[in-house]
Amino acid sequence: MKIGVIADIHGNAPALEAVLEELPRHEVDLVVQLGDAFNGPIDPVGVARLLRAVPIAHVRGNGERMILAEDAAERSASATFARERLSADDLEWIESWPRVHREAGLLACHGSPRSDVEYLLEHLQAGGGVTRRRPAEVAEILGADRAGLVLCGHTHVPGMVRVDARCTVVNPGSVGLPAYADTVPVSHKMEVGSPEARYAVVELGGEDGLRVTQFTVPYAVERAAHRAEQFGFDDWAWTLRTGFAR
């Protein structure tokens, strides 16, 4: 079985379009989308159109939670941007997505199974440094809620941790936003250093066991960055072009 894994599109329809054009050549049996699909100042409506045109298993991220929030104070600027443009039907569709998707041998979530904002594979240090979690730390977060393959997103950084012989965690990186800065729980930056869209393909049951391949895809970055600038999101435009966060 081959699984295509995408996450953190953040309203970037040009990046998503490039990834969806490439996925069929891998002959995947399932595509899983790990949330934060729309909250971004580029083209959330275009993202909805693209996602609804193909069979995909979806989970909600903190971005979807903010978009669906009735209280504007609970939404970021990018979530408000998306909510104001998505249709009522789109919002109802998004609300139907589960927070965690489970099927035989597979668990998919946005951050971790217990929180859509928890970093499953990364540890934040007090001074803002970011390190990879050890397998024992990842196992502690997962607890009994695990599977042979656990898929997560949220941090936008591709990664893989073999927790033990029966559990591997994979983050495909971000389709549409290669970096960001945050202040919670401490000030830090997550950066991949280049503008390409990212996704992963996971192959289960082959002769070599589980095989994970991470991909980068060039796309019309300038088109996406220009749209972000048009809507007053200059920091987003700079990040889209560079892969770094200001």
| Residue ranges of E strands in the chain | 2-6, 30-33, 57-58, 101-103, 106-108, 122-124, 130-132, 149-151, 159-164, 167-171, 179-182, 188-191, 197-206, 209-217
The answer to whether residue 245 is domain-embedded is no
Q: What's the average model confidence in pLDDT over 9-13?
A: 98
Residue 246 located in a structural domain: no
- Supply φ then ψ for residue 169, to 5 degrees: -110, 135
d(CA 94, CA 88): 10
Whole-prediction pTM: 0.97
**Is 35 a member of any domain?**
yes
The CATH number linked to 51 is: 3.60.21.10
Look at residue 11 in the predicted model and tell me its pLDDT. 98
| pLDDT for residue 157 | 98
Tens-place pLDDT, residues 112-170 = 999 999 999 999 998 889 999 999 999 999 999 999 999 999 999 999 999 999 999 99
The stretch 65-71 carries a mean pLDDT of 98
Contacts by residues 179-183 (CB-CB < 8 Å, ≥ 24 positions apart):
179/239, 179/242, 179/243, 179/244, 179/245, 180/156, 180/239, 180/245, 181/245, 181/246
Which domain range does residue 162 map to? Answer: 2-239
| pLDDT on residue 205 | 83
Report the pLDDT value the prediction gives residue 44, as an integer from 0 to 100. Answer: 98
Task: Say if 200 falls within a structural domain.
Answer: yes
Average pLDDT, the chain: 97
Q: Mean pLDDT over residues 94-100, rounded? A: 98
- What is the tally of structural domains in the chain? 1
* pLDDT band (50, 70, 90) for residue 179: very high
Question: Is the residue at 180 inside a domain?
Answer: yes
Residues across the chain: 246
- Give the bridge partners for 214, in sequence order: 200
pLDDT at 207 over 70: no
Does the pLDDT value for residue 30 go beyond 70? yes
| Strands (E) located in 18-125 | 30-33, 57-58, 101-103, 106-108, 122-124
86 lies in some domain = yes
The pLDDT-based confidence of 209 (bands split at 50, 70, 90) is confident
Is the residue at 150 inside a domain? yes
In this predicted model, what pLDDT tens digit does every residue of 189-202 receive, in sequence order?
Answer: 999 999 999 999 99
Residue 73 lies in a domain: yes
